[in-house]
Amino acid sequence: MINVTRTFLPPIEEYQHHVQRAWDNQWLTNRGELVIELEESLKEYLKVTNIIVTNNGTIPLQIALKLLANGGEIITTPFSYVATTAAIVWENCIPVFVDIHPEYWTIDETKIEAAITSKTTAILATHVFGNPCNVTVIEAIAKKHHLKVIYDGAHCFGVQYNGKSIFEYGDVNTCSFHATKLFHTGEGGAMFTNDKALQQQLFYSHNFGHNGPLAFYGLGINGKMSELQAAMGLAVLPYMDTILVERKKVVDFYNANLDFSKLKSLKIRENTQWNYSYYPVVFETEEDLLLVEEVLNKNQIYPRRYFYPSLNTIEYTKGRSMPVSESIASRIMCLPLYVGLSEAELVKITLLINVVFL
């Protein structure tokens, strides 16, 4: 069976080494030695000024919205995983969708200003499949209209744009360390900001609002990463170079062997050091996609329709039509991409896709 992804697992004895440290310390949560070490290691690897690791990749979005959005209208993309929009609605804000760029698939920055109203408080944009939004234009718009900018960078571990980490842009950036991601802690995530005062707010907000054991800065929630999650991260991080090299091989194979007369691939924004996080292809029609999916499934190959559906069409958003997003969402499929995917398996995948259109 070939699934769309497979979790990278380090040698179990290396994970056990870090777990043993937690056992020896008798400290399993509440920001122990492993969590702090992981944060320092990630700051060095990602070349960022600060990071707060969390128990999943959604809680940073919720915390950022709680602190910055003030229950207002949030300009966002309809082309993202449902967590992006769900976080907005969950925090009692209103998602206002803006359609996406037809090649980059990120929010179309030329359409943002037309969506701004007196109730708009923030922009929440997704760097799609690790492909950066046009951060320069978005942040100029935000400054002009006194809006906050939150980036959903769930797919962006290791991505650099214009020579610096993608996590250095915006008021708050988030990332997911879910088991399906390039770098993972089994389940987990992180949030980033360059604003020291905001960093303190983010920190206490993910720790029940604590200011020491008995006092409180304010309202908070439990977003803390456990030592067992951090142990996995510390075991995975040394393999990041290998992970990226192996994933690049898969991407290069697809690029060289798929028949693009009937397919369209993701266009990476200029000046981006990409991370090979996903391999999405867009078919000419949804019928073509469904036919290819059926052929692959019959051969025990399971790609994923990701992102689908366009988020403006789900019941609780009640969004207006987003023609580009709806069209791409109906025709996009992510192909298998993970460390350990063999050349024989890649040959099988590409031949099966190509032969459908012969």
Tens digit of each residue's pLDDT (9 = 90 or more) over 18-27: 999 999 999 9
CATH 3.40.640.10 in the chain, residue ranges:
3-238
Q: Tokens in use for 216?
A: 């409180």
> Which residue numbers in the chain have pLDDT < 70?
358
Per-residue confidence (pLDDT) for residue 357, from 0 to 100: 79
Domain 3-238 sits in CATH 1.10.246.90: no
pLDDT tens string 54-77? 999 999 999 999 999 999 999 999
Per-residue confidence (pLDDT) for residue 358, from 0 to 100: 65
What single-letter amino acid sits at 331?
Answer: R
The CATH fold assigned to 239-356 is Aspartate Aminotransferase, domain 1 (3.90.1150)
Strand ranges (E), 185-343 = 189-192, 210-211, 215-216, 263-265, 272-273, 280-283, 301-302, 332-334
Per-residue confidence (pLDDT) for residue 165, from 0 to 100: 98
Q: 143: Cβ–Cβ under 8 A, 6 or more apart, which residues?
A: none
H helix and E strand count, the chain:
11, 17
CATH 3.90.1150.10 in the chain, residue ranges:
239-356
Q: What is the pTM of this model?
A: 0.96
Please report where in the chains the tokens 């992981």 appear, as a residue: 38
Per-residue confidence (pLDDT) for residue 150, from 0 to 100: 98
